[in-house]
Amino acid sequence: RQRITIDREIEQIVFGGVGGSAIAADVIIDWLIDRLKIPAVVVRDARLPRFVNKTTLVVALSYSGETTETLSLYKAARSRDCLAFAISTGGRLIDLCRRYERPFLAIRPSVSPRSALYQMVSACSIVLKEAGLTGRLLPAVGEAAKEVSVLRRHYTSTNDSSGNKAKQFAYSLKDNLPVVYALQRMGCVARRFKNQLNENSKIPAKFDLLPESGHNEIEAWHEANDLTPVLIRDSGESAFESKIMDGFRSTIKEATKTEALDVLIRSKSRLGALLCPIFFLDYVSIYLAFLRGVDPTPTALIKDFRKSIS
């Protein structure tokens, strides 16, 4: 780890990455939605948007350090003279940083890219603080981690179905395609769950945001179909936000008699409100894999795809 030297005014933040690495950036953006004073976006692509220039902080996230798109994006950031920073376990991305004498943060290898979420979030927090864009964030990350670790005993595999809400939830998703809805500021939870259902459970799933889905997607709910709606709730919902969630739920129910499943994990902190349901739903996706008789760990098709574009 090297310190960043801040020699300019930062006007935008671009997190660059794909898959399990990019989701950490979504968590950061949803967490700091009311605190970041400049626009922050996640670019899941090899190309940088037109607006990116030397006033942009670019944070390249690649667990493996070998992701084709993220390597291209990092090189593009360097050629536009951005304040570029990399987060990775190693690979060519860190080699580039060393060669260019640019700052990076090396994280410890985990079981898989998707299980390194907590480390990736911590690393992003350090970068934002060092770039002078926020105060210290790590204490809050530590607090949220404590909240999450308390949940483990509820959801762990040795805890049988009768007292294990994660196992119960997986069972209720067994036969249908899950459709996950969340408000924008809980969007990372919905996206992460959808991706974990793909990667761990090996099933299709979709997520969408509210209130937007009430203005188009709701028309797909004229009849009961093979989909199960899941609503990501939040104990910090405003009266208007609760009205959105309840209105969406009751419109579906009146049209199809389908009851949406709620996910609501209470937490003390804003980051905990994101990481606690993510932790719960990570377990759900793994139990759903076991219910389907598949091994959640290998990701053969992702490997095939990555090979085809490298």
Q: Name the DSSP letter for residue 101.
A: T
Q: Which of 223, 245, 247 has its CA nearest to residue 235?
A: 245
Q: Tell me which stretch binds a copy of itself (CB under 8 A): 80-88, 116-124, 144-152, 177-185.
A: 177-185
CB of 24 or CB of 183, closer to a copy of itself: 183
Nearer to a copy of itself, 131 or 302 (CB): 302
- Which listed residue (44, 75, 78, 80) binds a copy of itself by CB under 8 A? 44
Token pair belonging to 171: 């069972």
Instruction: State the number of binding residues for a copy of itself (CB under 8 A).
Output: 71
Binding of a copy of itself at residue 211 (CB under 8 A)? Answer: yes
Site string for a copy of itself, 240-279 (x = CB under 8 A): x--xx-xxx-xx--xx------------------------
Residue 179 lies near a copy of itself (rule: CB under 8 A): yes
Single residue of 8, 49, 54, 81 touching a copy of itself by CB under 8 A? 49
Q: Min. distance of Cβ 291 from a copy of itself in angstroms?
A: 15
Select the residue interacting with a copy of itself from 20, 65, 103, 178 (CB under 8 A). Answer: 20
Return the residue of 101, 175, 257, 309 that touches a copy of itself, per CB under 8 A. 309
- Binding of residue 99 to a copy of itself (CB under 8 A): no
Q: In this chain, which of 89, 119, 195, 228 binds a copy of itself, going by CB under 8 A?
A: 195
For a copy of itself, the binding residue among 6, 38, 138, 150 (CB under 8 A) is 38
Confirm if 123 and 156 have CB atoms less than 8 A apart. no
Q: Which of 2, 6, 8, 39 binds a copy of itself (CB under 8 A)?
A: 39
Phi, psi for residue 220 in degrees, rounded to 5? -80, -10
Residues 59-78, interacting with a copy of itself (CB under 8 A): 67, 69
Q: From start to end of the chain, where are the E strands? A: 12-16, 40-43, 56-62, 83-88, 104-106, 177-183, 206-210, 227-232, 261-263
Residues between 213 and 232 with contacts to a copy of itself, criterion CB under 8 A: 214-222, 225-227
What are the contacts of 88-95 at 24+ separation with CB within 8 A? 88/60, 88/61, 88/62, 88/63, 88/64, 89/63, 89/64, 89/65, 89/116, 90/64, 90/65, 91/62, 91/64, 91/65, 91/66, 92/65, 92/66, 93/60, 93/62, 93/65, 93/66, 93/67, 94/65, 95/65
Distance CA 30, CA 275 (A): 11
